[in-house]
Structure 1
């Protein structure tokens, strides 16, 4: 029997990691646990954030390296979504409102879904799509 894999953690590439860290702190209550700046002193080479019980890693785009992910274009359709599971349905509405106030764009207003969750979707200012969900009731 194969050994179970480890935890899947999203690694986001953004156009301005310092701004993204500030946004994730304000919108989702992220806590920065590690940050390493690039040699230029302006870009983040690597950062680790804790959001709830999950981890998100991120960095600035480094096109000069010629490999790796590129930052998405804000306003364009995202090819991946990050799901943020919350404890209570009311938290979906509150987190959605806080993210919009911080600069996110709402894609789907909070609503009760047929599968039993309160659900909403938004795009952050850096081109990443977030889905918020919690059990109804």
Structure 2
């Protein structure tokens, strides 16, 4: 599987909010965003959604640890980057001082993914498409 064209050569911001459904409505009204994808969870929560704002992709969802706009030690933004080899990049980042939050794992949506926190508190999610 190849990296989707709209994810190539980009760091994709993934914001976590309390009330993602309302945030999407706001971004549509305020910025002319269009909803590309939504994965609903229990109780009306949004596990993951993607919108397009002027041709740029923004990921968002309702906040859960380690993401929290207001929680202690939480971060409200993650940065997604598709890379050729998530395992190698994860090892490189950990050797450089990144905190490993989630080891490289094959995910059900067709990507191998890891999650790290950089020394400045930012969360990075690296993904490599899994060849189907």
Provide TM-score, normalisation by structure 1.
0.44
Provide TM-score, normalisation by structure 2.
0.45
